[in-house]
Structure 1
Amino acid sequence: MTTSGQNNSKGKKNNPLFEVVFNIIVPSIILMKFSGPEYLGTVVGLIVALIFPVGYGIYDFIKARSLNFISLLGFLSTLLTGGIALFELNVEWLAIKEAAIPGIIGLTVLMSGFFGKPLLAKVLLNSILFKLDVIYDTLDARGNTQRFKQQITKANYILALTFAFSSTMNYVLAKWIVTSPAGTVEFNEQLGEMTLLSYPIIAIPSMLAMIGIFFYVIKVITKLTGMKFEQMVHSQ
């Protein structure tokens, strides 16, 4: 009974609302409203704002006892943002950094397709959700294995495009909003505004695109295997 409880705890996913609050809303409010000289000041305000996403990242690592590639890049992104601000580097570096993180992910996804091992398949087609043995056996029996691989590779390239969109929009948003020198109250306020706007302008459209890719993959599996959705996924 204890082992089962521990497994459930390890497999429990994070609350998306908490992720938004700790990584976006709270840091944005601190940067925009409490980093002036009458409150925390520019440096302390920035540090306090960054504590929330960094702290949440550490908490998530301890809770999951593992660190995936995406989480690592998010953690590094937060630290780089703090470094650019604290060392008062040119704001151009912020735009470059904002574009680089999703750009690296997108490039990784793209290259995985070129090498015949689409990252999409590893992330989406997992044995926890899908009955992979049944799906692959059915595909093989129908002679559709190669077509399936082609469709998954196509979906993988579409996924890479979503990261390319995110990278481009991150750069444009950073250049458009953050124009004040690092180390100033205005910089902190603009950084908070950029963080807040990045969710509806970039994160939500990217999320919707990924949901669309998921349903596309389901449709491909259904078409090529003749199976219904409930037949290809585990009941629990």
Structure 2
Amino acid sequence: MSKKSENGLVNLLVNIAIPAIVLMKFSSDDWLGPVWGLIIALIFPFSYGLYDFIVRKERNALSIIGVVSIILTGGIGLLQLDPKWIAVKEAAVPLVIAGVLLVSMKTKTPLVEVLIGQVINLPKIRAAASSELLTKKLKITSYVVVFSFIVSAILNYVVSRIIVVSEPGSAAFTAELGRLTAVSYPFIALPSTSVMIIGIIWLIASLKKDTGLSLEDLLHENRSVKK
């Protein structure tokens, strides 16, 4: 039985947009209140992630990130910690990812190489190019991806400090958390994804030139454009 395909729009709505709206618009004392606002916001990514795991037999990374992010963000608000910890948390997520990617570069299976291997045909490229050349280009691409997450961390910290300024526990503070939830993902995903795509395009163009392989040969068959 084939897996049901992921609906990207629903994924974004349930894991990001709806929780953000709940935190921004319905977490005031006139509506749900901070505690129930946090709980309701958590239900969406948690339920969707659970559904995805049961139906598609896959872990939904966006749901996991959504749950963890909302718990940390909401928890900081409920504990009435200094708003600076929100900024620290927002910066910590991409920094941890960058750190994991850097550490994995010292192992036999670098994570960036694993991800790239889902798009390009590394075995065929290894047969056409020297191991030293391929390793060098993959390392450059890995550093580009790591750099993108570092940039995201800096942007997240700055944006968090700008948006979250109210007293912890207040309705304004909760609304700011929702606004931050809505904008923080683009500051992680868009720069990282854009730079990653640029890095992969550079890698493919460079390997195409050095190996003489066609684009169809460089990409996995299921990634190539069907004729």
Normalising by structure 2, we get a TM-score of 0.85
Mapped to 1, the partners of 2:171 and 2:151 lie a distance apart of 30
The equivalent residue for 1:3 is: none
* Pairing partner for 2:152 from 151, 154, 166: 166
Aligned length: 222
C-alpha separation in 2, matches of 1:224 and 1:74: 41
Structure 1 residue ranges without an equivalent (≥5): 1-5
- Post-superposition shift, 1:106? 0.3
1:81 to 42, 66, 73: 73
Letter in 2 for 1:21: L
Task: Give 1:9's aligned residue.
Answer: 3
> Which of 123, 146, 167 is the equivalent residue of 1:133?
123
Query: Residues 160-219 of structure 1: CA distance to partner in whole angstroms, max 9, x if unpaired?
Result: 001101111111111111112332211111011112222444432322112112212211
1:112 maps onto 2:104 in alignment: yes
Residue 225 of structure 2: aligned partner: none
- Which residue does 2:135 correspond to in 1? 149
SS in structure 2 at match of 1:23: helix
Alignment match of 1:43 (pick from 22, 35, 46):
35
Q: Identify the range of structure 1 (221-230 vs 148-157) with the bigger mean alpha-carbon deviation.
A: 221-230
Q: How far is 1:64 from its partner?
A: 4.6
Once residues 66 and 26 of structure 2 are traced to their aligned partners in structure 1, the CA distance between those partners, rounded to angstroms, is 24
What is the identity percentage for the equivalent residue pairs of Structure 1 and Structure 2? 37
1:69 to partner: Cα distance? 7.8
Describe how 1:186-225 pairs up with structure 2 within 5 A: 186-225=172-211
Aligned-residue CA RMSD in angstroms?
2.4
Q: Please name the residue that 1:57 is paired with.
A: 49
Structure 2 distance, partners of 1:132, 1:154, is 16
- Residue type of the alignment partner of 1:9: K
Q: CA deviation at 1:37?
A: 2.1
Partner Cα distance (2:103, 2:60) in 1: 18
- Unpaired runs of at least 5, structure 2: 223-227
8 A Cα contact 1:42 1:185, kept in partner: yes
Cα 1:177–1:68, aligned 2, differ >3 Å: closer, same or farther? same
Q: Is the 8 A contact 1:54 1:78 kept in 2?
A: no
- Normalised to the residue count of structure 1, the TM-score between the two structures is 0.82
Counterpart position of 1:102: 94
Per-residue deviation, 1:31: 1.6
